[in-house]
Amino acid sequence: MSWQRRRGDTAKVWPTTKKTDGRGNDIYVVDMEAPPHLVRAVFIPQRSARAEVPGQQQINVVRMLVAADLKGVDLWSRVEWRGVFWDVVTPPSLHVGTRHTRHWSIDLRERP
C-alpha cells in the first residue's frame, strides 16, 4: 500500500444492496442501515465550480484512491468524508499491479 493511502484521511463507505420496488423491479440502493466500511484513502481534487449567482449549483468532484480489498462499492454507494456526504459518479476502476500499488480509484461528487 502506498504511503499516501496508508496515512491518508479516513472515510466511511456504505455498500449497495439489491431491493425490489413496488412494481416488482429490482433496483440498487445504498444500504445506510448496514455498517459502513471504514477506509483510509487519498483524496485528489478533480474539478469544482462555485455557485456565484442565485440558482446556480456548486459542484465539487474528487477522486478517492483506496486499497483494492474494498468490496460492494459501485455507482450507488455513498461516502462520508470530513462530515460531508459524497455520491459515486463513475464506476470504480481497479488499477492492478503489485500488492503495494494495487488500488481502486473512485470519483465522488459532493451531495448538494
The domain tally of the chain equals 1
Residue among 109, 112, 106 nearest 42 (CA): 106
In which domain, by residue range, is 38 found?
3-110
Give the CATH number, domain containing residue 80: 2.40.10
106 forms beta bridges with 64
**Could you read off the pLDDT tens digit of each residue along the chain, which spans 112 residues?**
455 556 788 999 998 889 999 999 999 988 888 889 899 998 988 877 666 666 656 678 899 998 878 887 888 889 999 999 999 988 888 788 787 778 888 899 888 7
Q: Specify burial of residue 108 (Cβ count, 10 A radius: 0-12, 13-18, 19+).
A: buried
CA dist 75 and 59 (Å) reads 18
φ, ψ of residue 20 to 5 degrees: the values are -110, 130
